[in-house]
Amino acid sequence: GLGGPVLTLPPLTLAANTSYDFTLAVCYSKSSTAACAHDVVRVNVGTSALRPALRGGGVTVRSTQQVVLDASGSSDPDDPAAALEYQWECVRVRADTNAHTGTGMGISDGACVAIVEASSTASNASGTTPQG
Residue scoring higher pLDDT (58 or 112): 58
- pLDDT digits 0-9 by tens, 59-115: 888 889 888 889 999 999 998 899 999 888 887 777 777 777 666 655 654 455 544
**Contact criterion met (CB below 8 Å) for 69 and 56:** yes
| First-to-last C-alpha distance (Å) of the chain | 65
Reference 55, options 38, 40, 72, 43; nearest CA is 72
**pLDDT classification of 127: cutoffs 50, 70, 90:** very low
Domain definitions of the chain by residue range? 89-125
Q: Which pLDDT belongs to residue 50?
A: 93
Contact 19, 43 (CB under 8 A): yes
CB count, 10 Å around CB of 24?
12
pLDDT tens digits, 11-39: 999 999 999 999 999 988 776 777 889 99
